[in-house]
Structure 1
Amino acid sequence: MEKTIRVAAVQAEPVWLDAEGTTKKTIDLIGQAAAEGAELVAFPETWIPGYPVFLWSYPVYQQMEFVARYHANSITVDGDQLRRIREAARENQISVVLGFSEKDGGSLYMAQAIIGADGEIVLHRRKLKPTHAERTLFGESDGSGIKVVETAIGRVGALNCFEHVQPLTKYAMYAQNEQIHVAGWPCLGIMGNVPALSPESIIAASQTYALEGSAFVLMATQIMSDDGALKFPDADGGPTPIYTGGGGFARIFGPHSGLISQPMEPTEEGLVYADLDLSQIALAKNTVDPAGHYARADVTRLIFDDRPQKPVIKPEEFDLQEFEDLRNEDDGIETASVFA
């Protein structure tokens, strides 16, 4: 039996639409997790400054006030809030997987950062494709964020929300021998009566990831209180109409897909913990390893492009062979005059 690794998953309410308030709460939760011996703590999707509940609540013309506040309270990778969170990770000697709304110029992205116990960012990624109404607020990413990274506690990866129902995205992660996976979810107390968005379906998606990937899965979720629901008021000042209560369903699953943490009540704030024995992964994969011995590459294969893609490429960054290939295709791409 290998040394066990103690981990924690957050189940808490952000300080809605308040980057500074949520940053302070983040640092407090990091300290709590470290005090309980955790070596890694996982936070939900867009934890800072909270999931944009207004996207699903009101017509676009009624969202403008919220959109402005959300932009103002989204954070940058090189900004003060993330710097202080990195310092908290280093001071507490704990790895942190943080979900946040990232502001880059005039665009927002649903980002995650894996921060090592030394405070360094090991991976910065963005949600590959925002889901449904999220696409009106957030930009898309590319394959460079579908990555598992080597850390002092094992091979760690992270995805946001409904990336966990994208079979090819998941398969690309499984193929990288992921050991510890962070599944960042929003508050499950909104639109909980819609079957596909229900807590039951989302828990099942996280558990399925553990089964298919033979990985430990840390499911981190936001919650929403009655007071929190009033932060997104309707025309009469009442709570957001999509509020269905609570929404906290933090869980930790083993590579055999079994639940290995003690769940809290959906309205309760806190952290769930588990002790991971990475040697269990080999036994789980011995049974089923979809990206290994259980694969049939002669029948089905995944084409995975993990190169960063940018809208503007400087000459020194450009692949001249790729440029020549584009010119030779003669498919109407008007780039030759730029690089002639």
Structure 2
Amino acid sequence: MISKSLFALVLSGMGLSSALAINKQIESGNLTVALIRAPPVNVPYPPPSSDWYGQMHDINATVDFGVKLIQRAALSGADFVAFPELWFPGYIDADPGPTDFLDNYFDQTITVNDTNWNKLVSAARKHSVWLEFGFAQHIKDNVFMGQALIDSKGDVIQVRQKLRPSGAERNIFSDGTIDQLLVHKTPFGRLGMLECWEHMHPTMTFAMHAQYENIHIAAFPWAPDLDVDSGVTRSEVSLAAARFYAITGSSHVFMPAVGTAAVFAPNGTLVASIQASEDPYETPILYHSINTTSFISSNQTYDTTEYSWAALQQVDRAYPAYIPKIANNSFIQHRQNSITEMRKFGPIV
């Protein structure tokens, strides 16, 4: 883990000028994406380390660090900067019951249009880069696994919430809504984004593939080195999900994650990667460029292929007749977790 003082040294070593504003446009036919892989401030490293040494999440310091990384990426020629899931202020594994650690996490969330949100949007505008970032989003009495897409002018293209938080995440984060599964027309092609295990669920991937993505951001929270056994969260599982998504969607998939980051071509080939064991403070960013001249920018869909409406009807017709077509009590219902209740009683199991 790195302390705030050491983070200051890391940032000062970047050789960045805070007064430098960049006004550039994406080169015709070329897109350079910067995948952030350094950890947020105070978050233990390497994953899946849980040695906090008395530290807690720090949203203000993490946003300032994130802004510096955006600047560094822009100075290195990036057109698009992608952060991991929940990078602001970092991922959380909470113990049962109310704790100071959990209370602090709720205090480190971001509300759209608050000071930290505006810092990130301003950084995209100042450095003329598109920006995707994962954040703990505070809305009224709930916290969501938010994911934002900002264009190079600082305009908000989309703010979505993870449709169905996975595993123990469901004990803290509330569910998003299915209408947020969108692909967007951009100057460099059709782009969409999902978070972590959303890439495992056909209810989420089918709708995205049907909208004909050229580029997909597959944001994962963290990924250790290969062969590090962390159960279903091991890197082999995350990389398999990103690779399979690239193949089934015929899209370029960029996977930012704290530690191991990767890029897959539409045929599933791993074209760029870096493992967690490589120093994240010397190499905090993985860069990869693609040629976009053949991409389709219109509102095209898979009208006649495996992700068409006709294919969806086939799924319905192929559903086994002996299994009831009802949403009974075993179906995972939409869930909203109250921050007020969690402050009193801890994560809601």
TM-score, scaled to structure 1: 0.73
Aligned-pair CA distance for 1:274: 1.3
Counterpart residue number, 1:220 = 256
Q: Which amino acid aligns with 2:247?
A: L
Q: Percent identity?
A: 30
Deviations 1:25-81 (A, max 9, x none): 11011111111211111100000110003x3xx3x12x5211100000001111111
Counterpart residue number, 1:137 = 172
Aligned-pair CA distance for 1:144: 2.0
1:205 and 2:245 aligned: no
Aligned-pair CA distance for 1:281: 6.3
Structure 1 alignment gaps of length 5 or more: 223-247, 303-308, 312-340
**What is the distance in 1 between the residues matched to 2:313 and 2:104?**
51
Deviations 1:257-278 (A, max 9, x none): 1122242443422111111123
1:290 and 2:300 aligned: no
Aligned-pair CA distance for 1:192: 5.1
Q: Which amino acid aligns with 1:45?
A: E
**What is the distance in 2 between the residues matched to 1:272 and 1:292?**
34
Counterpart residue number, 1:329 = none
Aligned-pair CA distance for 1:90: 0.6
Larger helix fraction of residues: 1
Structure 2 alignment gaps of length 5 or more: 1-27, 44-56, 318-333, 337-349
**What is the distance in 1 between the residues matched to 2:276 and 2:143?**
32
**What is the distance in 2 between the residues matched to 1:65 and 1:147?**
37
Q: Which amino acid aligns with 2:201?
A: Q
Counterpart residue number, 1:91 = 126
Aligned residues: 270
Matches for 1:1-340 after TM superposition, within 5 Å: 3-15=29-41, 16=43, 17-53=57-93, 55=94, 58=95, 60-61=96-97, 64-189=99-224, 193-222=229-258, 248-269=259-280, 270-278=284-292, 290-291=306-307, 296=311, 299-300=314-315
Q: Is the 8 A contact 1:214 1:289 kept in 2?
A: no
**What is the distance in 1 between the residues matched to 2:315 and 2:73?**
42
Q: Is the 8 A contact 2:189 2:295 kept in 1?
A: no
**What is the distance in 2 between the residues matched to 1:199 and 1:209?**
15
Q: Is the 8 A contact 2:224 2:260 kept in 1?
A: no
Q: Is the 8 A contact 1:100 1:110 kept in 2?
A: yes
**What is the distance in 1 between the residues matched to 2:228 and 2:178?**
30
**What is the distance in 1 between the residues matched to 2:190 and 2:73?**
20
Structure 2 SS opposite 1:69? helix
